[in-house]
Amino acid sequence: MILLREEIGDVLRGARQRQGRTLRDVSSTARVSLGYLSEVERGQKEASSELLLSICEALDVPMSSVLRSVSDRVAMSESLSARLPDRVPDRVPERVSAARERVSPRPVDGIRKTVIRAPLRAGEDLAPVA
């Protein structure tokens, strides 16, 4: 699950660390307690819009830039989670089952082997066995 407060905290911490500044320095400039700023950066506290603006000003980073970065991170997380199934299927999908059943015995060096015909590349369609 995507938590907005964690994404905001990660972006703020990244901005602070890129500037080589300490929590103490930013907290005093933003007039926020060091402990509270630390909790915001770790995603344990939700920053109000006023507090977020104060932190952004202390970092000399536009709030719109922070929110855009957060938005991009959330969009990426959503697209990744949309591609992953919520759970492992209980049975083999019909298409895979059919591919496994289509076998073709071929003699190779006088030895009969069972060759399973399945896609070689991602996205390639199953070809019927002749």
In the chain, the number of structural domains is: 1
Return the pLDDT at 130: 47
Question: Is the predicted pLDDT of residue 66 greater than 90, yes or no?
Answer: yes
To which residue do tokens 């855009």 refer?
68
Return the pLDDT at 93: 59
pLDDT band at 79 (very low <50, low <70, confident <90, very high): confident
First-to-last CA distance in the chain?
47
Return the pLDDT at 19: 96
pLDDT band at 81 (very low <50, low <70, confident <90, very high): confident
CA 29 – CA 22 distance, rounded (Å): 11
Residue 75 belongs to domain with CATH number: 1.10.260.40
78 in a domain, yes or no? yes
The domain in which residue 10 lies consists of 4-83
Residue (of 50, 31, 52) closest to 41 by Cα position = 52
